[in-house]
Structure 1
Amino acid sequence: MHADLSRITFHPERGYSAVIAQQGRVQVDADINEQVLNQLYQHRIALVDLIGQHGGPAASAGFKIERLAGRHGLDDLSIGPGRYYVGGVLCDAHRPDPGIPVPDEGEPAPPDPPGPWTYWDQPDGFRDPELPGDRLPAEAPYLVYLRVWERLVTAAEDPELREVALGADTSARIKVVWQVLALPSSELQVRNADAPIGAVEQSFDEWVRGRTENPARLAVRAQRPDDADEPCVLRPDARYRGLENQLYRVEIHDGGPAAEATFKWSRENGSVVFPVDDVDGTWVDLASLGGDTKLDLDVGDFVEFLDTALISRREPRPLLRVEELDLPERRVRLSAEPAVPHRPELHPFLRRWDHRGSRGGAVPVEEGRWIPVEDGVEIFFHRAESEYRSGDHWIVPARTATGDVEWPTDPAGRPLLRPPLGVVEHYAPLAWVTGDQVVDMRLTFGMT
């Protein structure tokens, strides 16, 4: 979550079932968020225990897959309306009713409501027919599956979240993202169209484990730098040398093996964003600038040009450097043109990062050594058993009161290697497409 948070205190392994407010105490965002996450965790664990890893209600199970003849000669799939649970997460495939406007005099009757979602127009898919990798496999058999994850949405993406009477934004939202995707049989150990469905399911489970198990691990510590020279400002024994409390975010940018992977970091959890009004080459017009020197842009900062489609596709683009500022006009000049066109309906924005990049604007991953971040904060990437995944991230609170970071340690005080906090993905097989035949692989529960 790229939210403006103080810290995240939800840890299911601690066994806490509720947060209890006490009178006369300060109320902080971390307590409220922990209660919400506690309830959500318990709810989803119960659903998995009752339903299994995936399944839909027998009377209204969604995501039935059927083949369609698409436009421009491209194959398509229809996605049946209804509900389906994956990893305890509810996925709803009903297409919202667009509503009926007040008709003008002489206006023809409104068109019929749209049919079910399809592969090409699914709400969070953002598939591009011009990209060969987005098209359905040309040869059968192939597996159609559901990928489910969650992401944060702020007023920069959804302006309706903003209470205009207050001006500034308030709370953010967590959105469930479901995407119907296709997996060629070449990615599975089962290649024959007439293979038993049990063998297809087993092969798919192995593919999922390869994508979700054994993620990279990170350790964090604060170590007093040798050149620390603020004896009158900070305690001499403070290992974290920053002057303010921070919530650091370390996030993998480019995934892949360690030699190719990169990361980026932010001292504000990546929450500093600037909605984009227009793009003219390398010049970007912003709706607003930061409220103070901590939350604005400066020459040399690295930013990420994002919109709803880019976030949903989770395909990183090179980070861009701020080369020039035009404060009166609220414009910035970037080191290169954004990699995607400006589409206002996708609510583009710039996200600021606080590192200094060296490979595509990001920092190369180096395993097996402590990497300085800033103000005494250091990170350590453990040799990964699998590839790094773009979007995986870790959250690190740093506090001036203790002069240290909040990170778990063993009894000897050594920092522990931790898996990423997210992104958590869930998968479910939907259909095995063998030529003109579509074999339904969904599971159902309850009475019809």
Structure 2
Amino acid sequence: MHADLSRVTFRPGKHYSAVLAQQGRVQLDADANEQTAIALHRERTAVTDLVGRHGGPAAAPGFAITYKAGNRVPDDLTIGAGRYYVDGIPLDATRPQPGVPAESGEGEQGERAPGADDDTLWRYWTQPDGYRDPERETDRLPDKFPYLVYLKVWERSVTAVEDPEIREVALGAAMPDTAARRKVVWQVLAVPAAELDIPARKGTAAEAREAFDKWAGQHGTSGARLAARSERPSRADEDPCVTHPEARYRGPENQLYRVEIHQGGAAERATFKWSRENGSVTLPVASLDGAWATLATLGADDKLDLGAGDWVEVSDAAYESRDERTPLLRVEEVDLPGRRVRLSGEPAPGTGRVAARRPFLRRWDHRGGTGRGAPRLTDGALALKGREGTWIDLEDGVQVYFAAEGSYRPGDHWLIPARTATGTVEWPRDTARRPLLQPPAGIEAHYAPLAWVRGKAQDGVTDLRHVFGPLAVPVESTT
């Protein structure tokens, strides 16, 4: 979660059932967040135990899929209203009804899908967090039958940059926003039969479910691994020192480092970026003009602003919801009076130009180096392998190590708390005090099959959903 956190302390294996507030103690964000995580973990575990990995209530199961053949427009799907649970996470596909503006007395016009005529249901092209684009070939439904329609569910963070309504304006424009939010994102997507290793013949529902479970297992688990440590730099004696002479972490402040994979793949070609503020330094974009970005603000102070040489990522609600990465661009020039920055290139087409999607710049704190052993830059991100050795220096004695085996996915990330009181980073170690390789802290995706689409015929869609609970049966009178 890209939020201004001190650290994340929830560990399911510790089996804590509650966080107890003590009198006269400092209240910490980590304690409140852990209590929320404990409650969510308990709730979702209980629902999964009762419902199974996925299912909907028998009286109102959501996400029923209906195929709509396109006529001069791309094929479409309708998504039935109702509730569904995936790994204990509740989802609701009921489409909110449009409001009526008081000044006009007329209903608002909702966004329409290509060729669709029913505004009471979500559709493949208008699902709330899908941001599907008919002009993108990869967004279209498979052009060959059969294919499987499924749910992808995950969570992302939302701050006041993306949703200004969560900011308390009474605190004043100069004050920072208070609480961030976690948002459940659901998306209805499709995968061709060929990717599921189902024969060209039209497979049965059982075959489709079995093949999808195998496919989801491969996509839902990351093979990425990272270890972190702090080592006292060899030239630390040259620092005039506010830091303890023997401290291995040499930073002047506590930080929560975020190391995130930018380009995925095997270790030899994957890249990463890092932030000392958990990637929470985001600045709203008011407009884009070529490589110039006009911002709503240049930052709260000199630690949370932009400077020449910084690497930034231009993003918005669509890219965040689609869990996509945009190319990193370098800040070349800062125009303070005009609240503008000139970037090293023009953002990709369609990125950051729709005001309703709340575009922003996210600052990353890595820099490329030319010295001996310094990691190289690839399209603005750092290579997983350093030029010399396997441990990679971030800054102030903080180092990371990526496992050579396994596959790295864009968005995989790790959080590394660095503390001045101990002069080190908090990271799991073995009995010999060696840092342990750890899986990513996220992103965790959840999958569930919805329908097996065999063709355009009326009976060409097989429902793959599960239902639970008793059906409502009227009781006949005995009088």
TM-score, scaled relative to structure 2: 0.90
Q: Indicate the residue corresponding to 1:20 in structure 2.
A: 20
- After superposition, the C-alpha distances for 1:203-246 in whole angstroms (9 at most, x for unaligned) are 11111111123520100000011111225422121000111110
- After superposition, the C-alpha distances for 1:251-282 in whole angstroms (9 at most, x for unaligned) are 00111222321100000000001000000111
Q: Which amino acid aligns with 1:42?
A: R
Q: Which amino acid aligns with 1:136?
A: L
2:269 matches 1:278: no
CA distance in 1, matches of 2:201, 2:133: 27
2:346 matches 1:337: yes
Q: Contact between 1:150 and 1:174, CA under 8 Å: does it hold in 2?
A: yes
Distance 1:153-1:71 versus aligned 2 partners, 3 A rule: farther
Q: Indicate the residue corresponding to 1:401 in structure 2.
A: 421
CA distance in 2, matches of 1:295, 1:171: 18
Q: Contact between 1:48 and 1:88, CA under 8 Å: does it hold in 2?
A: yes
CA distance in 2, matches of 1:443, 1:293: 54
Other structure's SS at 2:171 match: coil
2:187 matches 1:187: no
Q: Indicate the residue corresponding to 2:6 in structure 1.
A: 6
1:113-192 superposed matches below 5 A: 114-167=119-172, 168-192=176-200
Other structure's SS at 2:321 match: helix
Other structure's SS at 2:197 match: coil
- After superposition, the C-alpha distances for 1:85-123 in whole angstroms (9 at most, x for unaligned) are 00111111011122122254xx77877992200000100
2:370 matches 1:350: no
Q: Indicate the residue corresponding to 1:422 in structure 2.
A: 442
CA RMSD of aligned residues (A): 1.6
CA distance in 1, matches of 2:124, 2:108: 25
Other structure's SS at 2:263 match: coil
Q: Show structure 1 runs of 5+ residues with no match.
A: none
Q: CA deviation at 1:28?
A: 0.6
Out of 459, 464, 474, the residue aligned to residue 441 of structure 1 is 464
CA distance in 2, matches of 1:291, 1:206: 48
Out of 392, 399, 403, the residue aligned to residue 371 of structure 1 is 392
Q: Which amino acid aligns with 2:429?
A: T
TM-score, scaled relative to structure 1: 0.96
Tell which deviates more after alignment, 297-306 or 95-104: 95-104
- After superposition, the C-alpha distances for 1:150-200 in whole angstroms (9 at most, x for unaligned) are 000000001111111113311011000000000011101113453222221
CA distance in 2, matches of 1:383, 1:108: 60
CA distance in 2, matches of 1:258, 1:26: 42
Give 4+ residue runs of structure 1 displaced > 4 Å after superposition: 107-113
Distance 1:89-1:299 versus aligned 2 partners, 3 A rule: same
Q: Contact between 1:214 and 1:384, CA under 8 Å: does it hold in 2?
A: no
CA distance in 2, matches of 1:108, 1:96: 16
Distance 1:305-1:110 versus aligned 2 partners, 3 A rule: closer
Q: Contact between 1:189 and 1:203, CA under 8 Å: does it hold in 2?
A: yes
Q: Contact between 1:264 and 1:353, CA under 8 Å: does it hold in 2?
A: yes
CA distance in 1, matches of 2:253, 2:269: 33
Between the two proteins, the alignment pairs up a number of residues equal to: 445
Q: Indicate the residue corresponding to 1:204 in structure 2.
A: 212
Q: Indicate the residue corresponding to 2:256 in structure 1.
A: 247
